């Protein structure tokens, strides 16, 4: 198998240079071409000799994504991209403009095996994990296409990032590397459905990213109804893991809570949620559930959402309601890819 050069750290590139009989300093030059100057191919690397380029072509693959579709929202400029991976699989990436900067939501896997009942991305199960280069390239390709700097990243697209742990951590270190795009770890959020052992492992990496936990329910019974992962880890185990994460990293966890009409949006559930969030000083992000046609869950009413939020605030919990962006371009997450795959069939 060929080496995926865009997933290699500078140290690994140095070893590669040595093995190719080249000088070590070439490693940093090549790293910067790939990760800072976002070169589309070896040809752009003007200070690299033709002989070295030839050796690289013969020993390494140069991962690039191909844009298949792009939809731009007329309402807020949000863009959804559908990219083809080198093996023909597809992933969705979203570009959003906020007052505080541009944000990109990336996918971490092709499909997902977590099986959350309200989610479109898991309907066909997991196809495969993404390589670090394939996560990086989603951001690089959006940067090339928009010509604008990306300052925030959320790993909230298709896939469970902690189910692709090693590649995720490598990606996080590379995207925040000063020889690459140098995106501040504090501006990166990784969202998980709650793989407890991996959350504990992540705590030890000493990264300054924000960890978001997709909680979506306040009791184990209710959580099991909508998230199969709740059969493996209880809410009490999750809260313990959050506590460890906070203690090890000093970073507050965000709870994500998708409001589903008649399922998890009562005032009593808001009160329970406040009790879970308080000891951990968590921020809560409420998401009106995006209806997925295969699923049959409905969004909570505006009144229920406001009442839920008010209850949390009364209990001194900081809460935001996720602003809905790009609603005019393909409803729920994963829908652009889903439609494309269905058309192909």
| Residue with Cβ nearer ligand SAH (65 or 199) | 199
Q: Choosing from 105, 112, 129, 333, which is the catalytic residue?
A: 333
- The residues, any chain, with a CB within 8 Å of residue 19's CB and separated by 6 or more, are none
DSSP code at position 233: S
Query: Least distance in Å: CB of 257 to ligand SAH?
Result: 8
Q: How far is the CB of 141 from ligand SAH (least distance, A)?
A: 20
Residue 155: beta bridge partners?
A: 190
Helix (H, G, I), strand (E, B) or coil at 284: strand
Known catalytic residue: 242? no
Catalytic residue among 22, 60, 92, 119: 92
Locate tokens 């997925």: which residue?
292
The closest of 274, 279, 200, 189 to 237, measured between CA atoms, is 200
When the beta carbons of 51 and 306 are compared against ligand SAH, the nearer one is 306
Cα–Cα dist 11/291, whole Å: 46
136/140 Cα distance (integer angstroms): 6
Residue 284 C-beta: closest distance to ligand SAH, Å: 12
Q: Give the nearer residue to ligand SAH in terms of CB position, either 27 or 317.
A: 317
- Which residues of the shown chain bind ligand SAH in the complex (CB under 6 A)? 114, 116, 118-119, 156, 160, 191-193, 214, 256, 258, 287, 289-290, 292, 332-333
**Residue 86 or 115: which CB sits closer to ligand SAH?**
115
CA-wise closest residue to 155 among 246, 94, 205, 71: 94
Smallest gap from Cβ 312 to ligand SAH, in A, equals 17
d(CA 41, CA 43): 5
Is residue 92 annotated as a catalytic residue, yes or no?
yes
Residues noted as catalytic: 92, 333
């Amino acid at each position: 198998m060929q080496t995926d050069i865009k997933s290699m750290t500078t140290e690994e590139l140095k070893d590669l240079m040595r093995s190719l009989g080249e000088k070590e300093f070439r490693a940093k030059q090549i790293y910067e071409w790939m990760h800072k100057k976002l070169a589309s191919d070896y040809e752009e690397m003007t200070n690299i000799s033709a002989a070295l380029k030839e050796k690289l072509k013969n020993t390494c693959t140069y991962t690039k994504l191909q844009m298949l579709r792009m939809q731009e929202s007329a309402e807020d400029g949000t863009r959804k991209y559908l990219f083809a991976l080198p093996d023909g699989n597809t992933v969705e990436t979203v570009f959003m403009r906020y007052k505080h900067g541009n944000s990109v939501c990336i996918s971490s896997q092709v499909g997902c095996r977590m099986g959350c009942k309200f989610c479109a991305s898991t309907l066909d199960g997991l196809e495969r994990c993404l390589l670090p280069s394939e996560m990086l390239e989603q951001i690089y390709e959006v940067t090339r296409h928009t010509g604008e700097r990306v300052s925030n990243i959320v790993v909230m697209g298709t896939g469970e990032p902690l189910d692709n742990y090693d590649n995720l951590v490598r990606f996080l270190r590379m995207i925040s590397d000063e020889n690459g795009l140098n995106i501040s770890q504090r501006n990166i959020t990784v969202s998980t459905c709650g793989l407890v052992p991996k959350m504990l492992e992540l705590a030890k990496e000493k990264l300054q990213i924000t960890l978001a936990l997709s909680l979506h329910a306040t009791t184990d019974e209710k959580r099991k109804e909508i998230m199969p992962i709740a059969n493996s880890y209880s809410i009490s185990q999750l809260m313990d893991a959050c506590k460890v994460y906070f203690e090890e990293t000093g970073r507050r966890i965000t709870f994500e809570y998708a409001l589903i009409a008649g399922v998890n949006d009562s005032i009593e559930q808001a009160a329970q949620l406040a009790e879970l969030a308080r000891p951990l000083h968590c921020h809560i992000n409420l998401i009106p559930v995006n209806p997925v046609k295969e699923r049959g869950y409905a969004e909570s009413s505006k009144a229920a959402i406001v009442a839920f939020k008010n209850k949390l605030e009364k209990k001194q919990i900081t809460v935001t309601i996720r602003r809905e962006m790009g609603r005019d371009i393909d409803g729920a997450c994963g829908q652009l890819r889903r439609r494309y795959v269905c058309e192909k069939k």
